[in-house]
């Protein structure tokens, strides 16, 4: 074998060894790179998982706080409702008590009048006494927002009056007007509490 050929073979052999070493180094580098990439991914996954767990815990705490607030609001509303209901009941009792206390004074007046009617000789004085008590009673009703509904001579309105009879109108101007009131009606403030029973001209 010639020296030239041996040299070429040595060269080829050296080249192959170098190439093999380079390939081995490259493989190792690639393996290390892949391992590092896997480690980075694992770290990122762990971080992401940790962040997700943190977010879930945070949301759980927020939900718990919101539930607590909602329960407090419900409890406060329930307490408010019970308190206002109790106040309304007490107010209606107090209002009723005041009205009945006022009526009792009028009952006293009637009882005094009744005691003296049998012994009275002056009819005019008895009449004046009864009129006085009646006036007191009307004033008492007015003070509590109760007033009589005017009827005779007014135009008939089905929302206010209750027609119990119809009579022929004495003239054209009286048609549709109230001729007589059979039973008085009353309003409490702006609400009709008893409809007047009236006779209407046709």
Residue 19 has pLDDT above 80, yes or no: no
* Pair 119, 152 in one domain: no
Neighbours of 141 (CB within 10 A): 16
157-192 pLDDT tens trace: 888 898 998 888 888 888 888 889 999 999 888 888
Range of the domain at 130: 52-144
Quick check: is 191 in a domain? yes
Residues 56 and 81 in one domain: yes
* Residue at 40 is within a domain: no
Instruction: Give yes or no for a contact between 137 and 113, defined as CB atoms under 8 angstroms apart.
Output: no
Give the CATH number, domain containing residue 116: 3.90.20.20
Among candidate residues 147, 139, 128, the one with its CA nearest the CA of residue 106: 139
Are both 59 and 139 inside the same structural domain?
A: yes
Are 56 and 84 contained in the same domain?
yes
Asked which of 144, 168, 187 is the last residue of a domain, the reply is 144
CATH classification at residue 199:
2.30.22.10
Q: Is residue 37 part of a domain?
A: no
Residue 3, in any domain of the structure: no
Per-residue CA distances from 140 to 148, 154, 159, 184 (Å): 13, 26, 26, 17
Per the DSSP assignment, residues forming a β-bridge with 15 are: none
Q: State the Cα–Cα distance between residues 127 and 147, nearest whole angstrom.
A: 23
Residue 128, in any domain of the structure: yes
Average model confidence (pLDDT) across the chain: 80
Question: Is 186 domain-assigned?
Answer: yes
69 located within any domain: yes
Q: Is residue 4 part of a domain?
A: no
Domain total of the chain: 2
- Same domain, residue pair 137 and 56: yes
pLDDT tens, position by position, 41-54: 777 767 777 778 88
Tens of pLDDT, residues 22-34: 555 555 566 666 6
Q: Which of 29-33, 76-80, 108-112 has the lowest mean pLDDT?
A: 29-33
């Amino acid at each position: 074998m010639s020296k030239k050929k041996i040299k070429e073979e040595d060269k080829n052999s050296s080249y192959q060894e170098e190439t093999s070493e380079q390939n081995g180094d490259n493989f190792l580098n690639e393996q290390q790179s892949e391992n590092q990439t896997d480690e980075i991914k694992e770290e990122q996954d762990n971080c992401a998982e940790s962040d997700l767990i943190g977010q879930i815990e945070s949301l759980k705490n927020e939900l718990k706080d919101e539930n607590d607030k909602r329960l407090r609001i419900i409890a406060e509303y329930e307490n408010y409702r019970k308190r206002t209901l109790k106040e309304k009941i007490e107010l209606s009792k107090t209002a009723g008590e005041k009205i009945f206390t006022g009526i009792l004074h009028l009952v006293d007046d009637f009882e005094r009048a009744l005691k003296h009617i049998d012994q009275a000789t002056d009819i005019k004085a008895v009449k004046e006494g009864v009129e006085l008590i009646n006036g007191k009673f009307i004033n008492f009703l007015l003070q509590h927002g109760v007033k009589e509904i005017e009827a005779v001579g007014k135009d008939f309105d089905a929302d206010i009056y209750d027609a119990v009879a119809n009579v022929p109108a004495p003239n054209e101007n009286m048609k549709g007007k109230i001729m007589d009131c059979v039973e008085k009606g009353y309003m409490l403030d702006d609400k009709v509490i008893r409809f007047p029973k009236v006779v209407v001209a046709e």
